């Protein structure tokens, strides 16, 4: 049985001498970043003794996500309170001063983690440096990661109407780095998302008669009526004009009245014989 004084090496091997363990450390101080989420480090599964620290306090925030884009910390532009949280098969300690006091952030975990994790910087102002350190068993591949995300958009479609006001649409998606590979939209800044539709206005629609449905046949007068008026524009945005503005284009105004025969016989009043009514006694 091992004694209580037996220690782990950085890869958490009990009694290990570190010979089968490799420590990765450095400073991420690049500042050619885009506002929003930037992948800065990919920590492989099996990593232990993870430490991420800001060198100086900034308005930037640390974030962590999985390979498929799911955020475990500070995702979707929502900043979490300092706390102890479980993800990646271990417990992470996220620290910064609460209540809006500006202070360097830190993130640490003993590990080992059970899945690869992206360390992400939510960039809002100049990056003043992030110190990182983790250990992995020899033979595990490590990767640097510096990826930015931006909105990509296509061309607008043709106007949905040939006259009057219509709509044009275009595809908009979040993309990764120079290869413009589509990624989940929550990796891009929602406040800078380009619009995916806009109104388009062609030539005004020519004036024309709007003709409604005929009413039921009036039984006694044997007449039907309907609404007829001069307009321009779409059904949802009528502009009513005077009749004189339609007549040059469409000649005579359609009739608003017509004779008709009712489908059933008209109702008539009928009377019966008078009945005697006794006079009241005084």
Would you kindly state where each structural domain of the chain is located, as residue ranges? 21-148, 151-201, 208-259
Write down the pLDDT at residue 237.
62
Secondary structure of the chain in the HEC alphabet?
CCCCCCCECCCCCECCCCCCEEEEEEEECCCCCCCEEEEEEEECCCCEEEEEEECCCCCCEEEEECCCCCEEECCCCCCCCCEEEEECCEEEEEECCCCCCCCCCEEEECCCCCCCEEEEEEECCCCCCEEEEEEEECCCCCEEEEEEEEEEECCCCCCCCCCCEEEEECCEEEEECCCCEECCHHHCCHHHCCCCEEEEECCCCCCEEEECCCCCCCCCCCEEECCEEEEECCHHHCEEECHHHHHHHHCCCCCCEEECCCCCCCCCCCCCCCCCCCCCCC
Write down the pLDDT at residue 64.
95
Write down the pLDDT at residue 51.
94
Write down the pLDDT at residue 106.
94
User: Residue-wise pLDDT tens for the chain (282 aa)?
Assistant: 444 565 665 665 554 455 668 888 889 988 888 888 888 888 888 899 999 999 999 999 999 999 888 899 999 889 999 999 999 999 999 998 665 667 899 999 998 999 999 999 999 999 999 999 999 877 665 555 667 777 888 888 988 877 777 889 999 988 877 667 787 777 776 767 889 999 887 677 777 888 889 988 888 788 889 998 888 765 556 778 888 888 776 568 888 899 888 776 777 788 888 887 766 665
Write down the pLDDT at residue 117.
92
CATH number of 21-148: 2.60.120.830
For residue 153, which of 189, 178, 179, 180 has the smallest C-alpha distance? 180
Write down the pLDDT at residue 24.
87
């Amino acid at each position: 049985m091992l004694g209580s004084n037996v220690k782990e090496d950085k890869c958490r091997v009990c009694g290990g001498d570190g010979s089968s363990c490799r420590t990765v450390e450095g400073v991420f101080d690049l500042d050619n970043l885009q506002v929003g989420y930037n992948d800065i480090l990919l920590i492989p599964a099996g990593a232990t003794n993870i430490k991420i620290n800001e060198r100086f306090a900034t308005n930037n925030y640390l974030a962590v996500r999985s390979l498929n884009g799911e955020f475990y910390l500070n995702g979707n532009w929502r900043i979490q309170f300092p706390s102890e949280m479980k993800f990646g098969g271990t417990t992470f300690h996220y620290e910064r001063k609460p209540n809006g006091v500006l202070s360097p952030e830190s993130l640490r975990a003993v590990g080992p983690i059970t899945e690869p994790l992206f360390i992400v910087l939510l960039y809002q102002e100049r990056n003043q440096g992030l110190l990182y350190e983790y250990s992995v068993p020899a033979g595990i591949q490590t990767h640097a990661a510096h990826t930015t995300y931006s909105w990509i958009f296509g061309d607008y479609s043709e106007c949905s109407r040939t006259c009057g006001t219509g709509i044009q649409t275009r595809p908009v998606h979040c993309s990764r780095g120079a290869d413009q590979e589509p990624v989940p939209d929550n990796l891009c800044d929602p406040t800078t998302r380009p619009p995916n539709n806009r109104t388009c206005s062609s030539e005004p629609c020519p004036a024309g008669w709007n003709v409604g449905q005929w009413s039921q046949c009036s039984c006694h007068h044997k007449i039907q009526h309907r609404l007829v008026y001069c307009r321009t524009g779409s059904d949802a945005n009528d502009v009513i004009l005077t009749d004189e503005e339609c007549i040059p284009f469409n000649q005579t105004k359609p009739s608003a009245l017509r004779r008709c025969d009712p489908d059933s016989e008209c109702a008539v009043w009928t009377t019966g014989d008078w009945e005697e009514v006794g006079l009241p006694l005084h």
